[in-house]
């Protein structure tokens, strides 16, 4: 009988999935690489075949999950019509992802800030792509007259993301969970009120 070891990518994925659970349950600061190894069912040393250290594991986790989220958001935006429709689709899908994968949301929204290496040294390309997606919607709205604002597009995109991030953080930390998908209407109304200022 021949046995086959797990493919390298399969094992890496298993480690990333385990890290989500461990970081969400224990917090990034209090988690150990050995905790992730145990949850993934691998030896401690195996982690270091794929990741330099705990911070590198967190950054890799961010890149992996952000890429998946960005792909989902791009699909939602592409299926919508007009700047307002695209904005609503992006916000709704973002909140749906939070509700569907709360552990991932907690790691990316809360625990990521516990890594000084990430906050000080890392320039996340996936996050930049997300801002470009948001900025593209705002720019389209300015071009066709749907939006009218004096806020520079790049700043408007960051402000919009900041609002989504804060609503997500509030939902994650709330003891009495509200329906975050319903928050789409609140956020859209709030944002459009600002983007349409002067119309």
Q: Evaluate whether residue 161 is within a structural domain.
A: yes
Q: Is residue 123 part of a domain?
A: yes
Q: Report the C-alpha gap between 42 and 25 in whole angstroms.
A: 19
Determine, yes or no, domain membership for 184: yes
Residue 55 lies in a domain: no
> How far is the C-alpha of 53 from the C-alpha of 75, rounded, in Å?
34
- The SS3 call for residue 196 is coil
Which among 101, 99, 79 has a CA at the least distance from the CA of 89? 79
Q: Is residue 7 part of a domain?
A: no
Tokens of 146: 């749907």
Q: What pTM was estimated for this model as a whole?
A: 0.85
Domain carrying residue 118: 62-195
Question: How many structural domains does the chain have?
Answer: 1
Q: Residue 44 domain-assigned?
A: no
Query: Does a structural domain hold residue 39?
Result: no
The reported pLDDT for the residue numbered 196 is: 72
Q: What's the pLDDT score for residue 3?
A: 41
pLDDT of residue 154: 93
Mean pLDDT by 10 residues, the chain (199 residues): 53 94 92 95 94 90 91 97 96 95 90 72 79 96 89 92 93 86 90 72
Distance CA 145, CA 151 (A): 15
Cβ neighbours for 8, distance < 8 A, ≥ 6 positions apart: 50
Q: Is residue 188 part of a domain?
A: yes
The enclosing domain of 184 has a CATH number of 1.10.357.10
């Amino acid at each position: 009988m021949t046995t086959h070891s797990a493919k390298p990518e399969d094992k890496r994925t298993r480690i990333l999935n385990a890290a989500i659970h461990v970081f969400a349950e224990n917090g990034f600061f209090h988690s150990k690489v050995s905790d992730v190894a145990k949850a993934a069912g691998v030896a401690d040393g195996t982690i270091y075949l794929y990741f330099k250290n705990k911070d590198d594991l967190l950054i890799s986790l961010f890149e992996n999950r952000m890429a998946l989220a960005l792909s989902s958001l791009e699909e939602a935006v592409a299926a919508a019509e007009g700047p307002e429709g695209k904005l609503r689709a992006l916000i709704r899908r973002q909140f749906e992802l939070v509700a569907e994968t709360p552990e991932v949301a907690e790691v990316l929204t809360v625990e990521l800030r516990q890594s000084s290496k990430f906050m000080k040294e890392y320039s996340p390309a996936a996050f930049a792509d997300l801002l470009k997606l948001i900025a593209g919607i705002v720019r389209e709205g300015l071009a066709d007259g749907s939006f009218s604002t004096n806020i520079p597009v790049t700043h408007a995109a960051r402000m919009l993301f900041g609002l989504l991030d804060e609503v997500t953080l509030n939902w994650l930390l709330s003891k009495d969970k509200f329906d975050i998908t319903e928050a789409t209407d609140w956020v859209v109304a709030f944002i459009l009120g600002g983007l349409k200022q002067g119309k």
